[in-house]
Chain A
Amino acid sequence: MNKLHRGSWSIALVCVVLGFMISMQVKATQDKRDTVSYQRVEELSDRLLAAEQERDKLKEQLLQGANGEGTASETLRMQAELVPLTGEGVIVRLDDSTKAVKTGENPNLYVIHDDDLLRVINELRAAGAEAISINGQRLTATSEIRCAGPTLSVNNVRSSAPFEIHAIGDKKSLENSLKMRGGVAETLKVWGIQLDITTSDEVYVPPYKGSFKSTYAKATEERSEKGEEK
């Protein structure tokens, strides 16, 4: 036993190292457990990336296939708003009012709403606009224009003021449709909403980038709509 006591300092030293290593090991093992979920996240994000790449590739293939089918499909795609377009038209910029809100007045009146934009769009369409986009979102037959909190949702993509509407069509009639007496521009100006119309010979309208889904609608033969709701 005497010899053991003589060596007990060295044993103590070794025990310090041993304890150190044990607690490091315990920490490392716990750390490993924690990172399992992290690794899972990484794996999932990798998969997502791969899926996205595949989707892009397929989309490209689809576009190429559609391109290959000649002029008939080109017109179809133009009508389906899948082709970027350019031509003469107007660019309308709308921004919230700079007027100070009077006490007791509804501040909402000084902010652009979906119905303001809808009126502008409707006016432009009535004046023969062939393609319209809002903040880079192409308006399709199923596009919505809706307030989403303080932002505006078009094609389920949100954007906020200022709004820039690109419209291709006869630039004169488009401009006049908005500027006519008692028209949209005048009513909006009452509230101080800034509406700025520029005509251009080269207005660019981007294509629709979303997908087409038809869950409920099915193609059928043409028939009268009467007697449908029995």
Chain B
Amino acid sequence: MILPILGLAVGLILGYYFPFLIPIAYAKLSSVALLACLDSVFGGLRAGVNGRFANKVFISGFFINALFAAFLVYIGDHLGIDLYYVALLVFGFRIFKNLAILRRHFLKRNKAESRAE
């Protein structure tokens, strides 16, 4: 569990000192991509606790989801369909669902451990 947190910290620091700024025009796209990434990470965690974690699925899901989400929003912008909110809703929904599953899993495990004692 330490490795991912360490990675997150490294990424945060890297991003903070990165000299490049996302142009405001693309802030919307990157925010959707970010949401997709968050979703992938939570999805990965959930798969891990369920014992169904697959490296390839995780990595590919992470990048392709992010790229595709941003791309869809971009297309939607050009077509006059605000897919931004759709992506927001879907990813947000999935993140909360995964969080709930994770929470239940850990609660269950705690229960099992206390019983075993």
Contacts and interface: CB of A to CB of B under 8 A. Distances in A.
Q: What are the 10 A-B residue pairs with the smallest beta carbon separation, nearest first?
A: A19-B11, A23-B15, A4-B48, A15-B7, A12-B7, A16-B11, A19-B12, A20-B15, A28-B22, A12-B3
Interface of A: 1, 3-4, 6-25, 27-29, 31-32, 35
Interface string B2-39: 01111111111111101001101001001101100110
A7 B53 contact: yes
Given A7-B44, A9-B3, A14-B44, A22 B12 contact: yes
Nearest to B3: A12
A31 to B, nearest CB: 6
A10 B48 CA distance: 12
A19 B5 CA distance: 10
Contact of A20 (B18, B24, B49, B59): B18
Contacts of B54: 7
A141 to B, nearest CB: 54
B62 interface: yes
Contacts of B62: 14, 17
Given A6-B55, A14-B44, A15-B41, A25 B16 contact: no
* Interface of B: prevailing SS: helix
Interface of B: 1, 3-16, 18, 21-22, 24, 27, 30-31, 33-34, 37-38, 40-41, 44-45, 48-49, 51-55, 58-59, 62
Nearest to A14: B62
B14 A19 contact: yes
Most buried by A among B12, B18, B33: B12
Contact of B11 (A6, A11, A20): A20
A4 B6 contact: no
Nearest to B5: A15
Contact of A31 (B8, B21, B30): B21
Contacts of B22: 24-25, 27-28
B11 A17 contact: yes
Contact of B24 (A3, A11, A19, A28): A28
22 contacts: A1-B51, A3-B48, A8-B1, A8-B4, A10-B58, A11-B45, A11-B48, A12-B4, A13-B59, A16-B11, A17-B37, A18-B11, A18-B38, A19-B9, A19-B14, A21-B34, A23-B18, A24-B22, A25-B22, A27-B15, A28-B22, A31-B24
A22 B27 contact: no
B6 to A, nearest CB: 7
Given A18-B37, A19-B15, 6 more contacts: A3-B48, A7-B54, A16-B7, A18-B34, A20-B15, A31-B21
Nearest to A25: B34
Contact of A18 (B8, B30, B49, B51): B8
A31 B40 CA distance: 27
B45 to A, nearest CB: 8
Given A21-B15, A25-B31, A27-B16, A16 B10 contact: yes
A25 B14 contact: no
